[in-house]
Amino acid sequence: MRRVILAVTGTIAGLVALLSFKSHAPALSAATTSGTGSGSSASSSSSVPGEFPTGSEATDLPKDEAAITGQVANTVYGPVQVQLIARDSKIVKVAILQQPTNTIHDIQIGQFAFPRLISETLAAQSAKIDAVSGASYTSAGYIASLQSALDHGL
Amino acid sequence: MTSGTRPGRLRHAEHVMGTVVSFDVPDWAGPRSADDAALGRAVRWLHWVDATFSPYRDDSEVSRLGRGSLALADCAPELAEVLSACADVSARSGGYFTTTPGGRFDPSGYVKGWAIERAAAVLTAAGSAAHSVNGGGDIQCVGDRGSGQPWRVGIAHPLRPGSLALVVCGRDFAVATSGLAERGPHIINPHTGQPATGLASITVVGAGLAAADAYATAAFAMGSAGARDWLETVAGYEAFAITPSGSAWQTSGFRAYLG
C-alpha cells in the first residue's frame, strides 16, 4: 500500500509546486491585484488565466486575499484537487478540495500526509529556505517530504 | 528523476543509497538534466559508492570485507580512506562512533556524509562556484545561494512534524542532523548496545559534511549532556539539539549560523 501513498502524495507535491507562485507568478499577481483593487474578493480569482479555473469553493475571503483553485487531477486512486489562498503574492493557505476516500489508506493520507505537506510547504515559503535538514528519510519517505516540494521548484 | 525547473537554476533529485540526493545549482550554465557531464559524474559517483559500500548488498566490497572474503588490499582505495576516517572519529568521540553498530561491519555512519561532500566537490571541480547537495537531510553547501546571499537550511523539528525548529545560514558549510527517524533502526550507543534515546535530534554544522555527519551520529549516541560537553571541545563544528521533552540547547559558537 506504500505505492498508494507514493502516488497520491507525489501528485500533491507536484500540484503544490505546479500551482506555487514562483512557477506562475503572473497569474497570481493578477489575482492579487484584482482582489485588492476591486473589492470583490470572492470573484477575484476569476481573473486568473484559464489554466486555473475558479472553483465554487472560493470562500468569503478578506479583500487582500485571492483564491486559486487547481484543476482536478485524476489519479488512478481518484480525483485530487487543491486550492491556494494568496496574499501579497504569498501562499497563506492550501486546501485539499478533493481527495480519494475509498480506503483506510486514503483516509490516512488525508489525515497525515496532506496536512503535513501543506504545513511544511507554508513553513518553507515563509522561511525562504533552500533545503531541509532532518533525521534521514528513506527513498519512499522523500516523496511526501518538504525537500521533495523544494526540488519541484517550490 | 526530476530535473530542471526555472531557467538558470538546476534541481535534480537522484534516488540512491536508500534515500534521495537533491542537487541545487542556482546559477547553472550547463544542460538542465542528468545528461550533463558534471552532474552525471556526481550522480555516477553516488551510485558507485552505493554499490561499493552498501552493507545491504551481498556483493558490495563492504559486505565481502566484512565476511572476510575480500582483503582490504584488494578493495578500492576509498575503503581504506573511509576506514581510516572512521577510526579517527571513533577515537575523537571516545568510542561513541563505531563501524560495527549492529555487530557487523557497517561504515554507513560515515559513508553517506562523505559521499555527499565528495559529490559536491565533483561539481566544484567541474567549474560550479555555488551549489548544494542534500542527501536524505544531510547537506553540503558550496558558495552561496546567489546574489551574495547565504544558503538557508531549515532544521526539521523532530517532535512537531511539518514544523521547522530553526533556520541556519552560511556559505561553504555543511549541515547534518541525526534523530529519531519515523521508522528504521535507531542509533545504537556502542557502549551499551542499546538504542540511544537521550536526544530527539542533533544538528551539527561546520565546513565539511563527512565530519559533521559522523559527529552528529556520535553525539546522538552520547545523549544530551555528553553530546553537549563533547561538541564544545570539537574545533570548527557547532551544534543544536532538541531533547525528547522538547527543550533545546546549542553550543557556544552556534549563533554564527543563525540568520
Distance, CA of B172 to CA of B142 (rounded, Å): 4
Share of residues in chain B with pLDDT > 70 (%):
92
Give the mean model confidence (pLDDT) for residues B88-99: 96
Measure CB to CB from residue B152 to each of A129, A135, A151 and give the nearest one: A129
Q: Is the pLDDT of residue B33 over 60?
A: no
- B 161-200 → A contacts, CB under 8 A: 161-164, 167-168, 175-184
**B60 contact A CB<8A:** no
B159–chain A Cβ distance below 8 A for any pair? no
Joined grid coordinates for residue B46: 553516488
Return all residues near A10 (Cβ < 8 A) that are at least 6 apart: A143, A148
Residues of A in contact with B2 (CB under 8 A): 151-152
Tens of pLDDT, residue by residue over B152-202, are 999 988 887 767 888 999 999 999 999 876 554 578 899 988 888 899 999
Give pLDDT tens digits for A81-95: 777 777 766 677 777
| Confidence grade of residue A27 (pLDDT, cut at 50, 70, 90) | very low
What is chain B's mean pLDDT, rounded? 90
Which of A22, A130, A137 lies nearest to residue B145, judging by beta carbons?
A: A130
- Which of A30-44, A64-78, B81-95, B110-124 is least confident? A30-44
The pLDDT assigned to A33 comes to 26
User: Grid coordinates representing A4?
Assistant: 498508494
Question: Tens digit of pLDDT for each residue in A32-73?
Answer: 222 222 333 333 332 222 222 333 355 577 777 777 666 666
Distances (CA, A) of A102 to A2, A78, B133, B161, B169: 16, 9, 39, 25, 44
Q: Are B180 and B202 contacting, i.e. CB atoms less than 8 angstroms apart?
A: no
Strands B19-25 and B174-179: unpaired
Taking contacts as CB-CB distances below 8 angstroms, the residues of chain B near A142 are 13, 15, 19-20, 136
Residue A23 zone, left/alpha/beta (φ > 0; ψ -120 to 50; rest): alpha
More confident site: B187 or B22? B22
Distances (CA, A) of B12 to B28, B33, B111, B203: 12, 7, 21, 24
pLDDT single digits (tens) A138-153 = 666 666 667 776 776 6
Nearest CA in chain B to A114: B162
Confidence of residue A122 (pLDDT cuts 50, 70, 90): low
* Residue B67 buriedness (CB in 10 A; 0-12 / 13-18 / 19+): exposed
pLDDT of residue A120: 66
Cβ contact (<8 Å) for A23 and B167?
A: no
**Cα of A131 to nearest chain B Cα, Å:** 5
| Calpha distance B210→B128 (Å, rounded) | 20
Q: What pLDDT is recorded for position A74?
A: 59
What are the φ and ψ backbone dihedral angles of B59, each rounded to 5 degrees?
-95, 5
